[in-house]
Structure 1
Amino acid sequence: MTETHTLPKDAPEPGFFKQSLKLLWADKPAFFAALFLIVVVVCALVGPHLLDAVATKQNLRGRNAPPFDWSQGLMMILGGDQLGRPLLARLIVAASNTLAVAAGAVLASALIGTTLGLIAGYSRGRLGEAIPRLADVIMSFPSLLLAVIVLYMLEPSVTNLILVLAITRIPVYLRTTRAEVLEMRERMFVQAAQVMGASSGRIIARHIMPMILPTILTIATLDFSFVMLAESSLSFLGIGIQPPEITWGLMVSQGRPYLTNAWWLSFWPGLAIILTTLSLNLLSNWLRVALDPTQRWRLEMGGKKHV
């Protein structure tokens, strides 16, 4: 007779955090992308409080100082800018504004767009037909061109930048949510809830929203990198955040005149933008698989190989 081993009935199931960590470890590129993003977020939260004075201190003797010169200290390891300010400190401080604009725009557009999409998808009256027209109006203008026009008329600031970028991204969430809800509302579990007398708000909150949340989270992760690139483009054009505030895009713009003799002024902030957007894309791909019950087994099987 073969002896079978079973877990005790009272054995606790793996926690959500532990299970998510196992799934993340099964996808090595996504795992290291998540580590990099954690470092960036920590720098954005802590950097301005610790290095703000260092990042703004001018040292004309260190103008356009080359990178990897240990004689000038750790902060100058990536070189100095046109005013002798350490690029490493400025990169860390600039991460705060860069991520604040991207996170604010994504959060605002996701909340507004998803709410409007839920109403438009579940409503069968004129409201359900009128709301999608709002998305059509916004999408009739190129998003970057619309941001340029609005920011040219308004004062460039973090708040205005978040507002403009959020408006341009609302149609993405509105149309995606509406399409998902239109399909969900015809399913049997929704119709059963209606027969049981559940209100529209309860059906949306308890039955429909949990089903579409993975899709919204995946889109938001991808949209984060798009918004960050849009902010960098606007700062590069000179209509984004203005000095003395700094972002990675503004640092690239400020280093443009020195590309021939001090390439590192634009290279390091440009590399930070590339690595952050790449990490977000890798994490988005992992999130799409991890939240899909039909594909999650790929990560679970990959994780068991390393046990």
Structure 2
Amino acid sequence: MPAISFQSVSKVYPAAGKSGAAPLKALDNVSFDIEEGEFFGLLGPNGAGKTTLISILAGLARATAGTVKVHGYDVQQDFMQARRHLGIVPQELVFDPFFTVREALRFQSGYFGLHRNDDWIDELLSGLGLADKARANMRQLSGGMKRRVLVAQALVHKPPVIVLDEPTAGVDVELRQTLWQFVAALNRKGHTVLLTTHYLEEAEALCQRLAMLKKGQVIALERTSTLLNNATANVLYFKTDNALPPELAAQARTTGRIVELPASGPAEIEAHLAALRQAGVAVEDLEIRKADLEDVFIQLMNAPAIATPPPTTTAGVLS
């Protein structure tokens, strides 16, 4: 039985504003399963439908069509059982300003009928670096500390399925490392993790399998290693203070002084270098490397639309 199952899920929002405007199709026939024990990544640009899909999974929105199940429980028809199996860390910082950290976790435990949960609360506080904040009022915490409390609240009832919706957005390096160490340990113990993130290096390092959404459709559903191995392009990486010639600028991904140019093979690498020399572009720290997940992501997002969605295969045996 899959830990999470999305089957033919569509979501259409009514037209807003002027009469005659077209309805918005946020999700279009999305289907895939996440197996028990997987660390699964859900990726896509802003507006791709990730948050809508998570909202349907959490019961905060209703699908226009299709079914969503958590450990076999339908999130609408068997909502109480589905919620018990699910812990969700939202993007937004939502907290009660009247309670201390420990009180907030005790209240959260009570929602699931857990009356003597302090041993697990202590473990969460320690694992997430919150032990010295247990008696602090939620209003006194920094944004990063509030984010840690949200993670603790999602885990307080020991759900077998954990959903992390942009959990490291705007937080410091220490929190990111602490969070991933703790969540990776839970995953090794058998918890299923669904992660949405714009930090693709995190997805590449953590996720065994990925789904990529574009305009509400699944355009890729594959093991992370397979996606990377199928990327035939190399990347020419260098730093420069000069403007690139137009034919290279159109292909390049530029961040400040850093330039990354895709190249399909040695001949194209040499052609890029010749064009740089001819244009008088001085380069530093020149490297040739394999494409990473960010390169694959950009390539897939810029590819022409396909007529039919990819096969909705499941994970199989995890390596």
Structure with the larger strand share: 2
Structure with the larger helix share: 1
Decide: shared fold, TM above 0.5: no
Q: Which has the larger radius of gyration?
A: 1
TM-score (norm 2): 0.23
